[in-house]
């Protein structure tokens, strides 16, 4: 029997790794990957609590998170393609035209 707290600690670790990746990486695609890591950590938390309280709605919420992540990845990558076509570089620091 695995205590639920172990899973929750793993989920916190993964979320932390996602947040660190989001702040420290400069490549736009790497930022999108870090967002996916964060979403996965949240999915794990939902499934843990669905198992603990024996209700299926936790897993249904994971279903919706999965769908939204798919839609967001598709649009995000289309934006990445458009940005790359205009700037020839995927460094986030080069996309600073709106800075004062």
Partner 1 sequence: MIQILFFLFAALAAGAAINVLVQKHVLYSALSLILMLTAMSVLFVLLGADFLAVIQIIVYAGAIMVLFVFVIMLLNLPADEDGADRLRWLKFIGIPLGLFFLFLVTATLWNVETGTGTQPRFVGSPQAIGQTLFTDYLLPFEVTSLLILIALVGAVVFAKKDL
Nearer to partner 1 (CB atom), residue 71 or residue 99: 71
27 pairs with which residues across the strands?
91
Q: Using the 8-state DSSP alphabet, how is residue 92 labeled?
A: G
- Count of residues in contact with partner 1, rule CB under 8 A: 69
| Interaction between residue 36 and partner 1 (CB under 8 A) | yes
As a whole number of angstroms, the distance between CA 10 and CA 83 comes to: 35
Cβ atoms of 50 and 58 within 8 Å: the answer is: yes
Q: Which residue is it, tokens 């029997």?
A: 1
Stretch 56-75 residues interacting with partner 1 (CB under 8 A): 56-57, 59-60, 62-64, 66-75
| Least distance between partner 1 and beta carbon 51 (Å) | 5
Maximal C-alpha separation, the chain: 56
Q: State yes or no: residue 87 binds partner 1 (CB under 8 A).
A: no
Contacting residue, 2, 86, 98, 99, with partner 1 by CB under 8 A: 2
Work out whether 42 is an interface residue with partner 1 (CB under 8 A): no
């Amino acid at each position: 029997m695995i205590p639920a707290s172990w899973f929750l600690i793993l989920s916190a670790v993964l979320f932390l790794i996602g947040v660190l990746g989001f702040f420290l990486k400069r490549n736009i695609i790497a930022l999108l990957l870090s967002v996916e890591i964060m979403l996965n950590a949240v999915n794990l938390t939902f499934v843990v609590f669905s198992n603990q309280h024996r209700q299926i709605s936790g897993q249904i919420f994971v279903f919706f998170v999965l769908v939204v992540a798919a839609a967001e990845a598709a649009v995000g990558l289309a934006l990445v393609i458009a940005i790359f076509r205009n700037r020839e570089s995927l460094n986030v620091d080069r996309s600073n035209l709106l800075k004062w």
